[in-house]
Amino acid sequence: MATLISSLNLMLSTSQLTIVLIVTASIFLVFIVIAIIKTYKLNAENKRLTELDNLKSEEDNSYKDFTEGHLYDNK
């Protein structure tokens, strides 16, 4: 009889432990999914900024004469 009661108590604690482990794993799974989504968003933003930087570097970088300003006026 005593072994039956201790066995029932062990099963109860095992099932409680299983529930706790499932809940913990679910929470970490949610964190992992959020991290993956943020990684994809950051990669997309990085790609967009890189393309924007490439467009800026492709612009005409010819010399511009800045001596026409009021500080350099020789009147």
From first to last of its 75 residues, the chain has per-residue pLDDT tens of: 656 666 666 666 888 889 999 999 999 999 999 999 999 999 999 999 888 887 776 665 666 666 666 665 555
Q: Give a yes or no: residue 44 inside a domain.
A: yes
Distance from C-alpha of 70 to C-alpha of 72, rounded to nearest angstrom: 5
Q: Give a yes or no: residue 19 inside a domain.
A: yes
Enclosing domain of residue 44: 11-53
Q: What is the pLDDT of residue 44?
A: 94
Q: Give a yes or no: residue 46 inside a domain.
A: yes
Q: Give a yes or no: residue 74 inside a domain.
A: no
- pTM (predicted TM-score): 0.57
Q: What is the pLDDT of residue 37?
A: 98
Q: Give a yes or no: residue 18 inside a domain.
A: yes
Q: Among positive and negative, which fits the CA dihedral 61, 65, 71, 72?
A: positive
Q: What is the pLDDT of residue 31?
A: 98
Task: Please give the tally of structural domains in the chain.
Answer: 1
CA 9 to the chain's CA centroid: 44
